[in-house]
Amino acid sequence: EDKVVQSPLSLVVHEGDTVTLNCSYEVTNFRSLLWYKQEKKAPTFLFMLTSSGIEKKSGRLSSILDKKELSSILNITATQTGDSAIYLCAVVLNSGYSTLTFGKGTMLLVSP
Amino acid sequence: DAMVIQNPRYQVTQFGKPVTLSCSQTLNHNVMYWYQQKSSQAPKLLFHYYDKDFNNEADTPDNFQSRRPNTSFCFLDIRSPGLGDAAMYLCATSRDPGQGYTFGSGTRLTVV
C-alpha B43/C-alpha B35 separation (Å) is: 6
Whether the pLDDT of residue A89 is over 70: the answer is yes
Whether the pLDDT of residue B57 is over 90: the answer is no
| Chain B residues touching A98 at Cβ < 8 A | 94, 96-98
Q: How far apart are the first and last CA of chain A?
A: 41
| Chain B residues touching A63 at Cβ < 8 A | none
Measure in Å the smallest separation between the Cα of A14 and chain B Cα atoms: 22
* 3-class state of residue A59 by DSSP: coil
Cβ–Cβ below 8 Å for A98 and B105 = no
Which residue type is seen at A62?
Answer: S
Of residues B44, B100, B106, nearest to A42 (C-beta): B106
Q: Using a CB cutoff of 8 Å and minimum separation of 24, what contacts does B27-31 make?
A: B27/B3, B27/B93, B27/B95, B27/B102, B28/B71, B28/B72, B28/B95, B29/B71, B29/B93, B29/B94, B29/B95, B29/B102, B30/B71, B30/B94, B30/B95, B31/A97, B31/B93, B31/B94, B31/B95, B31/B97
State pLDDT tens for residues A8-34: 999 999 999 999 999 999 988 888 999
Cβ–Cβ below 8 Å for B48 and A96 = no
Amino acid A105: pLDDT: 94
Q: How many helices (H) and strands (E) does chain B have?
A: 0, 11
Whether the pLDDT of residue A99 is over 90: the answer is no
Quote the mean pLDDT of chain A.
92
Q: Is A23 in the B-facing interface, judged by CB distances under 8 Å? A: no
Whether the pLDDT of residue B98 is over 60: the answer is no
Q: Characterize the bridge pairing of strands B107-111 and B10-13.
A: parallel
Percent pLDDT > 70 in chain B is 94
* 3-class state of residue B98 by DSSP: helix
Whether the pLDDT of residue B1 is over 70: the answer is no
- Could you tell me the maximum CA-CA distance found in chain B, to the nearest angstrom? 39
Split at pLDDT 50, 70, 90, the class of B93 is very high
Which of A6, A63, A93, A98 is the best residue to mutate to test the B interface, defined by the most B CB atoms within 10 Å of its own CB?
A: A98
Q: Is A3 in the B-facing interface, judged by CB distances under 8 Å? A: no
Split at pLDDT 50, 70, 90, the class of A112 is very high
C-alpha A79/C-alpha B41 separation (Å) is: 24
